[in-house]
Amino acid sequence: MKQLNHLGIILDGNGRWAQKLNKDRTFGHKQGMNKIFDTIKWCQAENIAYVTLFCFSTENWNRPVKEVDYLMKFPGQIFSDKELKKYIANGIRIIWVGRRTKVPKKTRQALENAESKTEQQTKTIVNLALDYGSGEELVSAVTKICQGILQQKFELNDINQDLIYNNLYTCASPPIDFLIRTGGEQRLSNFMLLQLGYAELYFTKIYWPDFDAIALKTAIADYYARDRRFGRIEV
């Protein structure tokens, strides 16, 4: 049995959930994003110390402008100073993992404000993946490593797995133990490809707005029933 330290979630199915109710897709995003705080609380109740949430991918820019605009507004709403007090009171630190240069200024400010207001918190680290994709993350990591070499902070021979891992956006977190994807698709969609190297994968048909504490418990029970060998064999 291996403690579930780091849970990753691909929050999928918002649009289909709304369409099923004959509502606009953005209604699904509203429901989905408004439950982020509750989700973190459920994770705390399960003794999970690291949570990584995939909210917007580097490919999601290809959606209609109206939908992208809507999604760019949610950080400002869920991380108002009033809401952030709840995060602080519960020991939650927010870290934005993703490209910082492309999102609108207001989105960036909201995310960076959430990061700075919660940076002293240590109970739960929440990596919020927004404009995140593994390919882009590797570009960013390689760029940082090359800069380090050019600035003579280290040399070519110093490149090893730890150095690469420490230059990923998620460097404050251990690798992901368990990945839940809601919404029924069975793919990784460019999410944390290195960090998921030995993760257990779990796919559920439940749309993200319907995913609740019971569904999380069911998924976690599945995790603890698995045998994680990390390439070793039973002895």
Nearest to 129 by CA among 7, 19, 211: 7
The closest residue (CB) to ligand IPE is 15
Nearest to 126 by CA among 201, 75, 166: 75
Using rule CB under 5 A, residue 182 touches Mg ion: no
Using rule CB under 5 A, residue 177 touches Mg ion: no
Q: Which amino acid is present at 234?
A: E
The closest residue (CB) to Mg ion is 12
Sheet holding 50-57, edge to edge: 92-97, 124-132, 50-57, 6-10, 178-181, 200-203
The answer to whether 223 and 178 have CB atoms below 8 angstroms apart is yes
Using rule CB under 6 A, residue 8 touches ligand IPE: no
Interface positions, 9-68, toward Mg ion (CB under 5 A): 12
CA distances for 42 relative to 48, 49, 140, 194, angstroms = 9, 11, 32, 26
Q: Is 24 a catalytic residue?
A: no
Give kind and range of the element (H or E) at residue 216: helix 213-224
Q: Is 12 a catalytic residue?
A: yes
29 burial level (CB within 10 Å; 0-12, 13-18, 19+): buried
Q: Residue 16, annotated ligand binder?
A: yes
Q: Residue 6, annotated ligand binder?
A: no
Interface positions, 70-89, toward ligand IPE (CB under 6 A): 71
11 binds, among ligand IPE, Mg ion, none (CB under 5 to 8 A by kind): ligand IPE
Q: Contacting ligand IPE (CB under 6 A), which of 6, 9, 15, 42?
A: 15
Q: Which residues define the annotated binding site?
A: 12-17, 25, 29, 57-59, 61, 63, 181, 187-189, 200
Contact positions toward Mg ion, by CB under 5 A? 12
The residues annotated with a catalytic role in the active site are 12, 60
Contact positions toward ligand IPE, by CB under 6 A? 11-16, 56, 60, 71, 183
